[in-house]
Structure 1
Amino acid sequence: MPVAAWRQPYPDSRRDRLMTFLVPSLLTIALAAAGGGVATLLGLPAGWIMGGALVVSVAAMAGVPVAMPNRLRDVVFVLIGMSMGASVAPDSLSLLPSWPASLAGLVLELVLIIGLTGWMLQRRFGLDRGTAYLSSFPGHLSFVMAIASAGVGDARQIAIIQVIRILMLTVAVPIGAMFLPVAEFTPAADFGTLGVLELLMLAAGCVVVGLVFVRLKVPAGLVLGAMAASTAAKLAGLYTAAIPEPLAIITFVLTGALIGSRFAGITRREFMAAAKGGVIATLMTLVIVTAVAWGVSLVVSIPFAQIWIGLAPGALEGMGALGIALGYDTAFIAAHHVVRLMLLTFAIPLVVALIQRRETATIGRDD
C-alpha cells in the first residue's frame, strides 16, 4: 500500500501518525532480517549486517519507504556499544608480547591505513574529516556506523565506502579458501553466554554511562559510553561470558537496517562518487598490508603468507579458514585479528575525539 493511502481516511488521526511511524520501521527491519538471513546462509562474512544493509539500501534507493525511529536507533547504539565491549577477549592484553615484530607491524599498518586513506578521501574526494577517517577504519563496521549515525560524518558515504571495502576483501582474498579442503575455523575459548540477570545489569551500566557521555557532550555518547562501560567491566574481570547469540543477531539485523535506511534519498552521482573512493581506499589498504607484511617477513622466521593473513584488514573467518587450509599457525592468525579489533576499539573513539577537537578549533578561529 502506498504511503499516501495511509493518510486518506484519517489525515490527522493518531492512527495515521502511528501507521506512518510503524509501518516503514517494521518494513525496514523485515527487509534487514531477510537480507541478513540469506547472506548468512550463503556464508558471507558479517552476513547479518552486510546482507541486511545491502537489501535495505537497495530498497531505499528504489523509493521504498524505509526508516529507523530515533528511539529504536538509540537502543541500537547501546546494543552495539555493549556488544563491542563484550567481544573483547579477557586475555587480549596478554597477547601483545607474544609476537612483538608482527604486532608492531600491525600497529604501524593501522596507523598507515587510517592516516593515508583518510587523508586521500579528504583531499581527493573532498570528504569532511569525520566522513574520511570513519571510512578508513579497517574493521568494526557496526561500531563505525553507529558513531556515524549519531552525527559524526556523513553516514551514507561512510556506509558505501565501508561496504565496498568488505565486498572487495570478501571477493579478493578469502575466496581462495573455497577451493581448498578447509576445516571449520574455531575461535578462542568459549566462556559461555551471559545470563538474563547479568545481561540486564550490564545493559543498565551501559545505559547509565552512555547517558553520562551524552550529558558531557561526548560525540556519539550512547555508543562510546556503552562500549566504555562494557569494555572496562570485561577487562576488569567483572564478567567473562559473551552476549547471547540471539541478541547478537538482533543487534546485527538492527544495525543493517540502520545502515541501509541512511541510503534514503541518495542520488546515483553521490553513490558512484563514494563507491569510487571505496575502491581506491581498499586498494591502498591492500598495498599497505602487503608492504608491512613483507617488511615483517624480513625480520622473523614466519612465512610471508601467514603474516599477510594475520595482518589482513578484516574477514577473520575467511582468513582463519585459509590459514588452516595452508597449514599455517591459526593461533598466530587469530591473535593478530583479535588484537587488531581490540586496537580499533580504542582507536575509533580517540580519532573521533581528535576530529571533534580539530573542528571545534577551526570554528573558533573562524569566529
Structure 2
Amino acid sequence: MAAPATTLKAIWPVLLTLLISAAGGGVATLVGMPAGWLMGGALAVAVAAVAGLPMVMPDRLRDLSFLLIGMSMGASVAPDSLSLMASWPLSIAALAIELVLIVSLTGWMLAKVFKLDRGTAYLSSFPGHLSFVLGIASTGVGNTRQIVIIQVIRILMLTICVPIGAVFLPIAHFAPRVATDYLDVWQLLGLAAGCVVVGLVFIKLKFPAGFVLGAMAAATLGKLAGFYSAAMPVPLVTLTFVLTGALIGSRFAGISRGELLTAAKGGFVATMMTVGIVSVVAFLVSLVVEMPYGQIWLGLSPGALEGMGALGIALGYDTAFIAAHHVLRLLMLTLAIPTVVVLIKRRESATIMGQD
C-alpha cells in the first residue's frame, strides 16, 4: 500500500500545476484575453508558486511541452515564409542594435540605481540564454539568485505584455488562419516521431533551445516538402498552451516572497526598459518592412523561444520569422556574454589594483 501512496505524493504537485494552469488559462480565455490559455496559465502558476504551492514540471513533461511547441510552430509556418526572407536582413540588423541597447542601458541602470554589483547587473540584463548566464554566474560572477529572479520576471512579463498589447494596439486583426483540415492520429504520431529524432540530433549538436528548434525544423521541412498540409488539432494546441503556461509559471518555484520583493523592483524596471526598446525598434522596422507590427515585435522580443513561439501561434503570426530571429539572438548572446564578462573582470581587477 505504501508504493501507490508514494507515487500519488510524487504525482500530485505535477497534477496541481497543470490544473492551475488550465484553470487560469480557461478564465483568461473566457474574459477574452488574447492568448488566454498561455497567459492565464503562466500567471496562475506563477502566483501559486510564489504563494508557496508546489508547482512542478518534470523534465519529461517539459520535453513534451517543447516537442508540442516545435510541432505547432512548424505546422503554423506561413506558406510564403521563404519569399519573405528577403526582408529579414533589416530586422536582423535591428536585432543586433537592440541587444546592444538593452544590455548596456539596463545593465547600467541596475548597477547605478539599484546598486547591484556589475556582474549581477549585466548578467541580469542579458535578454536570454539563461542557462549560459547561470553557468557563468556559478563560477563566481554576480549573485545567482538575484539573476534568476530578474530573468524569470523578464520572461513572465514579456509573455504578458504581448497579449495586453494585442488588446490596446492595432495588431489584433491579424487573426490565426482558420484551418479546414486537421492532422489525424497516425499523421500526428509520424510527425511527432520525426520531430523527436531531429530534436535529439539538435541537442547532440548543442543547438540553443535544441529540442524546440529541432522539432520545429522537422515539422517545417515536412510541411514545405508537401508531406502534410493539415493543421494541428485545436485540443492539442490548447494542451500545448496549458503546458507552456505551466512551464513558464513554474520557474518561480523555490523563490521566496522576500527574495522576489528584493529583486522585483529592479526586474520590473529592467523589463519595462526592455519592452520600451523593443517596441521602438520594432516600430522603426515596421515602417520599412511589410510585416505585421506584432510579428516583428515577437521576433525581436527577448522572451523565451517557447513562450514567444506559442504566442506567435495564438496570434496568427509567421512562426518561421519569429524562430529565426530568436535563434540568431541566442547566437549573438553566445558571443556577447563571455565578452562582457571578460570586460567586467578586467574593470574589477583594475579597480582593485587602483585601490592597492
Q: TM-score, normalised by structure 1?
A: 0.69
For residues 363 and 287 of structure 1, the distance between their equivalents in structure 2, rounded to whole angstroms, comes to 28
Q: Determine which of 233, 237, 254 is the counterpart of 1:244.
A: 233
2:238 aligned with 1:253, yes or no? no
Deviation at 1:121, TM superposition (A): 4.0
For residues 4 and 122 of structure 2, the distance between their equivalents in structure 1, rounded to whole angstroms, comes to 41
User: Counterpart amino acid of 2:238?
Assistant: I
For residues 123 and 34 of structure 2, the distance between their equivalents in structure 1, rounded to whole angstroms, comes to 28
Q: Determine which of 262, 277, 280 is the counterpart of 2:270.
A: 277
Aligned to 2:74: 85
Contact 2:203/2:211, CA 8 A, preserved across alignment: yes
Structure 2 counterparts to residues 175-194 of structure 1, below 5 A: 175=168, 186-188=175-177, 190=179, 192-194=181-183
Q: Determine which of 304, 324, 337 is the counterpart of 1:346.
A: 324
Aligned to 1:35: 24
RMSD: 3.9
Contact 2:156/2:248, CA 8 A, preserved across alignment: no
User: Counterpart amino acid of 1:90?
Assistant: P
Q: Determine which of 96, 101, 107 is the counterpart of 1:116.
A: 101
For residues 308 and 225 of structure 1, the distance between their equivalents in structure 2, rounded to whole angstroms, comes to 26
Aligned to 2:302: none
Q: What are structure 2's unaligned runs of at least 5 residues?
A: 111-119, 135-147, 300-315, 346-356
Q: Deviations over 1:41-71 (max 9, x none)?
A: 1121221111001011001001111111121
Aligned to 1:320: none
For residues 149 and 26 of structure 2, the distance between their equivalents in structure 1, rounded to whole angstroms, comes to 23
Deviation at 1:265, TM superposition (A): 2.4
Contact 1:105/1:293, CA 8 A, preserved across alignment: no
For residues 92 and 340 of structure 2, the distance between their equivalents in structure 1, rounded to whole angstroms, comes to 29
Structure 2 counterparts to residues 320-335 of structure 1, below 5 A: none
Deviation at 1:157, TM superposition (A): 3.8
How has the CA–CA distance of structure 1 residues 187 and 75 changed in structure 2, closer, same or farther, with 3 Å as cutoff? Answer: closer
User: Counterpart amino acid of 1:19?
Assistant: L
Structure 2 counterparts to residues 11-90 of structure 1, below 5 A: 13-90=2-79
For residues 112 and 293 of structure 1, the distance between their equivalents in structure 2, rounded to whole angstroms, comes to 15
For residues 206 and 187 of structure 1, the distance between their equivalents in structure 2, rounded to whole angstroms, comes to 23
2:262 aligned with 1:262, yes or no? no
2:188 aligned with 1:199, yes or no? yes
Aligned to 2:138: none
The number of residues matched between the two structures is: 304
Contact 1:39/1:51, CA 8 A, preserved across alignment: yes
User: Counterpart amino acid of 2:275?
Assistant: T
Q: Percent identity?
A: 40
How has the CA–CA distance of structure 1 residues 109 and 58 changed in structure 2, closer, same or farther, with 3 Å as cutoff? Answer: same
For residues 257 and 115 of structure 1, the distance between their equivalents in structure 2, rounded to whole angstroms, comes to 31
For residues 236 and 282 of structure 1, the distance between their equivalents in structure 2, rounded to whole angstroms, comes to 37
User: Counterpart amino acid of 1:165?
Assistant: L
Aligned to 2:297: 313
Q: Deviations over 1:64-123 (max 9, x none)?
A: 1111112111111211122121111122122456xx6xx776455444434432444455
How has the CA–CA distance of structure 1 residues 84 and 153 changed in structure 2, closer, same or farther, with 3 Å as cutoff? Answer: farther
How has the CA–CA distance of structure 1 residues 199 and 293 changed in structure 2, closer, same or farther, with 3 Å as cutoff? Answer: closer
User: Counterpart amino acid of 1:283?
Assistant: G
Aligned to 2:282: 289
Deviation at 1:259, TM superposition (A): 0.8
Q: Deviations over 1:181-208 (max 9, x none)?
A: x9x7644464622121111111001111
Contact 1:152/1:219, CA 8 A, preserved across alignment: no
User: Counterpart amino acid of 2:324?
Assistant: F
Q: Determine which of 180, 205, 208 is the counterpart of 2:197.
A: 208
User: Counterpart amino acid of 2:98?
Assistant: I
Contact 1:90/1:240, CA 8 A, preserved across alignment: no
Q: Deviations over 1:281-321 (max 9, x none)?
A: 11222232344456x4xxx9xxxxx9885676259xxxxxx
Contact 1:130/1:152, CA 8 A, preserved across alignment: no
How has the CA–CA distance of structure 1 residues 46 and 157 changed in structure 2, closer, same or farther, with 3 Å as cutoff? Answer: farther
For residues 270 and 186 of structure 1, the distance between their equivalents in structure 2, rounded to whole angstroms, comes to 37
Contact 1:156/1:262, CA 8 A, preserved across alignment: no
For residues 130 and 233 of structure 1, the distance between their equivalents in structure 2, rounded to whole angstroms, comes to 38
SS at match of 1:313: helix
Aligned to 1:331: none
How has the CA–CA distance of structure 1 residues 194 and 278 changed in structure 2, closer, same or farther, with 3 Å as cutoff? Answer: same
Q: TM-score, normalised by structure 2?
A: 0.71
For residues 328 and 96 of structure 2, the distance between their equivalents in structure 1, rounded to whole angstroms, comes to 13
